């Protein structure tokens, strides 16, 4: 193919491309914009932490408090995953129902972190606080608070997670404005060589 034919072909293709109508906004082939909501994916954070522990040879310790006594015991990875799944379920529910929550952000210069708060007046999850490292934007701590009222009984559940260290599940039951029962379980993990 000689140069004049190549140049003619190039210009013909350019004219055709310029005269080709742009796809309409309703065109099914148009690009779909992803959900750009600023909500942090706390479910992925919990899943990553669970995977991190599951793939390592950590000693996992559960400290259980039932309102009177505290019992410490070593637990298996399966027990760890079962307990952590309770927090993961709450994180997934939150991610699927983000529209029920309002977000606020606070920068704490003293701890060099951002605190993101999600709150709701209508959902069972009343608040979520996520502390992110200011330099890396990686989670340091997560707090989830649920509150339910069933007749004259108020149940409050609190979940907390400290990155690469431990999580806690707490529950308090109040009947007629008096605490009847408090219980918590703190599960921590550490390298067996430490």
pLDDT digits (tens, 9 = 90+) for 73-120: 999 999 999 999 999 999 999 999 999 999 999 998 888 899 999 999
- Widest CA span of the chain, in angstroms? 94
Report the distance separating Cα 40 and Cα 59, nearest Å.
30
pTM: 0.76
Question: Does 115 fall in a domain?
Answer: yes
Question: Does 174 fall in a domain?
Answer: yes
The range of the structural domain enclosing residue 99 comes to 42-191
**Whole-number Cα distances in Å, 35 to 55, 77, 121, 157:** 31, 35, 24, 30
pLDDT of res. 176: 83
Question: Does 148 fall in a domain?
Answer: yes
Q: Considering its fold, how many domains does the chain have in total? A: 1
In the structure, what pLDDT confidence band is assigned to residue 15 with cuts at 50, 70 and 90? very low
Question: Does 93 fall in a domain?
Answer: yes
The residue-averaged pLDDT of 172-193 equals 84
Question: Does 14 fall in a domain?
Answer: no
Report the distance separating Cα 18 and Cα 13, nearest Å.
9
pLDDT of res. 38: 61
Per-residue pLDDT reduced to its tens digit, 123-178: 999 999 999 999 999 999 999 999 998 888 999 999 999 999 999 999 999 888 77
pLDDT of res. 192: 56
Question: Does 76 fall in a domain?
Answer: yes
In the structure, what pLDDT confidence band is assigned to residue 19 with cuts at 50, 70 and 90? very low
- Residue 5 in this model has a pLDDT that exceeds 80: no
Phi/psi region, residue 15 (left: phi>0; alpha: psi -120 to 50; beta: rest), is: alpha
Question: Does 26 fall in a domain?
Answer: no
* Structure-model confidence comparison of residues 66 and 145, the more confident one: 145
**Whole-number Cα distances in Å, 102 to 117, 128, 142, 194:** 8, 10, 17, 42
Q: Which residues of 156-165 are buried (b: 16+ CB within 10 A; e: fewer)?
A: bbbbbbbbee
Question: Does 162 fall in a domain?
Answer: yes
């Amino acid at each position: 193919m000689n140069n004049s034919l190549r140049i003619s072909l190039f210009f013909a293709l350019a004219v055709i491309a310029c005269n080709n109508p742009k796809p309409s906004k309703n065109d099914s082939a148009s690009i779909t914009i992803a959900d750009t909501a600023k909500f942090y994916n706390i479910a992925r954070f919990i899943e990553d932490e669970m995977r991190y522990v599951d793939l390592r040879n950590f000693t996992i310790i559960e400290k259980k408090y039932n309102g009177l006594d505290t019992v410490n015991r070593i637990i298996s990875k399966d027990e760890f995953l079962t307990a952590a799944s309770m927090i993961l379920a709450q994180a997934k529910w939150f991610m699927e129902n983000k529209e029920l929550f309002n977000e606020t952000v606070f920068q704490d210069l003293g701890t060099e972190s951002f605190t993101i708060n999600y709150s709701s007046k209508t959902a069972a999850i009343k608040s979520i606080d996520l502390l992110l490292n200011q330099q890396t934007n990686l989670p340091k701590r997560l707090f989830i608070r649920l509150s339910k009222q069933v007749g004259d009984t108020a149940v409050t559940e609190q979940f907390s997670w400290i990155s690469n260290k431990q999580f806690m599940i707490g529950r308090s039951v109040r009947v007629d404005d008096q605490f009847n029962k408090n219980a918590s379980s703190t599960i921590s993990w550490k390298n067996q060589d430490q």
